Structure formats: C-alpha cells, structure tokens
Amino acid sequence: MPPSHPCPAAGTGAAGDGAADDAAGAVSALPPLEHALLWCLRAWAMGRCRGRDCSGRIAEVFSGLGAPAAAGCFEGFMWALNHGAVRVLDVRCACAAAVSADEAALLDAFVLAGAPADAGPGRPLAAAAPLEGMTTPAATRACLDSAARVLALLRAAGHAPSRTPAALARHACRAPAAWRGLAASVALH
C-alpha cells in the first residue's frame, strides 16, 4: 500500500484533489489520539514504501500512550490492509498537513471498530462502511478485528477517541451495503 504521491515539503498540503483534502480536514484539527493513529498509519506506509522498518517508532508511540501491546495489533491492521487493499490508497507522508479522504476513512474504521456498545445501535455494522471499496471482505474483517483490539488496549490505558459519534453519523447509512459482503447470508423461510 504505497502512498499515492511523494512526500511534500514540510508544512504544505499534499498534492492531489483539493476538494478531497478540504472534506477530510487538516491534521492539526485532529484530536491527539487520532493524530497519533494517523502518524502511525503514515509511518508504516512510508516505511513499507521505502523498505524501512518503522515498527520501533510506532511501538514508541503506543508505549507513550500506555498501551505498548497495541503496537502488535496495529501491525495486524496494517498487514491486513496492505494485503487486502483492492486499490492504491491515499496514505500520505507524516509531514502532509491535510488528511486524505482514505486516511479519514481509515481513522473512522478504527474508532468505529473499537467503539463501546453504547456508542449507538448501528456501530457494529457501521465499522465496515469506511473500508468499503478499499479492501476485500476478508481483509475488512481482519482490519476490524485488529482495530478493535488496538482501541480496547488504548481505552484500557485511559484513551478514548472523540470522533466516534461523528464517524457513526458519517457511515451508519452505508453500513448495510458494506456489511453484505462480510457476513454469511442466512435465509429463514
């Protein structure tokens, strides 16, 4: 899953569709936990693209958050995403100022997969929606399982993402279509 463009100069937005960048937002507007997850996504992708192992730096981030075991679960998420992507994803370098639409969707998948049961009735189905069109059904299941483990460990360390209600609102209406390919069909007639 290499990034779709070379690293821009620090402090500038990434090359690409400005409308998509505006829709996804600025990195500086992200809450701290989501900012850390985005940095890890970007570092992993850039390291993979350049043939470098960034697992030590990513482990430092999760250790700093008080959830060192989450680094392994995060690796599982990225492995499933990398091997199950059905198209090139717009994951940018760590210095890009704008969040791509794909990165925003990946962050939403994380927070929805790890949302507590009281987050809303559509939460389990909505977790798959951000990955629709990005990954195979098998990869979606693996990504969501790993993301739920990452978020459970982060919650146990006292961190809760603040994007959950907004992410649920963004993806709940797309949930049934996204879920169709993930669950076995059961006909009761």
The whole model's pTM is what?
0.75
The 10 Å Cβ neighbour count of residue 8 is: 17
Give the number of other CB atoms < 10 A from CB of residue 83.
13
Note whether residue 34 is domain-resident: yes
Tell me, yes or no, whether 185 lies in a domain: no
Average the pLDDT over each of 6-10, 59-63, 98-102, 107-111 and give the range with the smallest value.
6-10
What span, in angstroms and rounded, lies between the C-alpha atoms of 24 and 30?
A: 10
Residue span of the structural domain in which 173 resides: 21-179
Residue position matching structure tokens 């701290």: 32
* pLDDT per residue as tens digits for the range 87-144: 999 999 888 999 998 998 899 888 888 766 555 554 556 678 888 889 999 999 899 9
Residue with tokens 């559509």: 122
Flag whether 189 is in a domain.
no
Overall domain count for the chain = 1
Q: What is the mean pLDDT of residues 18-29?
A: 62
pLDDT band at 178 (very low <50, low <70, confident <90, very high): very low
- Domain assignment of residue 7, yes or no: no
Please indicate, yes or no, if residue 166 is contained in any of the structural domains.
yes
3-state SS assignment for residue 135: strand
